[in-house]
Amino acid sequence: MAHITVDTLTYTQLAKSFDHALLRPEMTTSEVVLGCNLAARYDVKSVCVKPCDVRLAAETLAGTSVLVGTVISFPHGNSPTSIKIAESLQAIDDGATELDVVINIGLLRGGEVQKVEDEVRAVVQAAKKRYLGVLIKVIFENAYLSREEIVLACKLTERAGAEFVKTSTGFAATGHTIEDLRLMRESVSERIEVKASGGVKTLDQVVAILQTGTTRVGSSSTDKILDEFKRVRGL
């Protein structure tokens, strides 16, 4: 993936790496609709909305190629497993096809790795029983984790059957780092994809992210980044 540059990327390749984030707690219904319309206009991969906005996003994006994703136990990951499952099933019923699930960070940091793995597996199995095609991304919140804990989180996520490992919620003190993305890519098999989020604001950042083998980028600056790409490429 190191050969990726602004000049080698097509607009579609870049746009389809974006999960357009619509997660600000103060975001209104009309702002969610505007954000979904922006995502459709730029033809990104998905929107990532708050659970309460999933049905609205699904209705707004009906007939487009933009997928609807949401967050589970966001941003701290502290809900009981039963609530994470219930929230996941509700999101699927409302029209989400991608779920970004926050792990129980405290359990992981306390060395209770099996409990974390069991919880992720329970969410994955329940969600896929409801809708087999649902895609599960597991959020680690790397700002709170050591390198060793990030590796453990990668391994347990893969064993539990999820499809993605993800760096951050965007609500911690720090977000993605290139070092963390490389570590995560090295710590999972090719079956697992990597998502960067938290502090993604420029085209240069996105190119550097994609060079690590990361395939998805969560950002609320999607339009600015894609507009910058068009300017640079003269599109």
Q: How large a percentage of the chain has pLDDT more than 90? A: 99
Considering the candidates 45, 84, 137, 166, report the single residue annotated as catalytic: 166
User: What's the number of domains the chain is made of?
Assistant: 1
User: Residue 3 domain-assigned?
Assistant: no
112's tokens: 């209770």
Where does the pLDDT of residue 156 fall: very low under 50, low under 70, confident under 90, or very high at 90 and above?
very high
**Would residue 16 show up in a list of annotated catalytic residues for this protein?**
no
The boundaries of the domain holding residue 139 are 11-233
Q: Specify the residue for token string 């080698």.
A: 8
Q: Does residue 48 lie within any of the structural domains?
A: yes
**Residue reference for tokens 């969560």:** 218
Report if residue 1 sits inside a domain. no
Q: Which of 129, 195, 224, 230 is catalytic?
A: 195
Per-residue pLDDT tens over the stretch 208-230: 999 999 999 999 999 999 999 99
pLDDT at residue 3 tops 90: no
Tokens (6 digits) for 35: 């954000």
pLDDT > 70? residue 2? no
The domain that holds 143 is classified in CATH as: 3.20.20.70
Q: Write out the two tokens for 173.
A: 């003190």
Region 87-108: what's the mean pLDDT?
98
Residue 5 is assigned to a structural domain of this protein: no
Q: Is 195 a catalytic residue?
A: yes
Least Cα distance to 73 among 64, 84, 63 occurs for 84
197-206: b (≥16 Cβ within 10 Å) or e = bbbbeebebb
Residue 167 CB partners (closer than 8 Å, separation 6+):
139, 140, 142, 175, 176, 177, 180, 181, 184, 195, 196, 197, 198
**Residue 2 domain flag:** no
Q: What is the pLDDT of residues 115-148, one digit of tens each?
A: 999 999 999 999 999 999 999 999 999 999 999 9
Model pTM above 0.95: yes
Is 82 part of any domain?
yes
Tokens of 192: 């697992």
**pLDDT tens-digit map of 70-88:** 999 999 999 999 999 999 9
**Residue 65 class from Cβ within 10 Å (0-12 exposed, 13-18 middle, 19+ buried)?**
exposed
Question: 6 lies in a domain?
Answer: no
Asked whether residue 50 is assigned to any structural domain, the reply reads: yes
Identify how many contiguous H helices and E strands the chain contains and give both numbers.
Answer: 10, 8
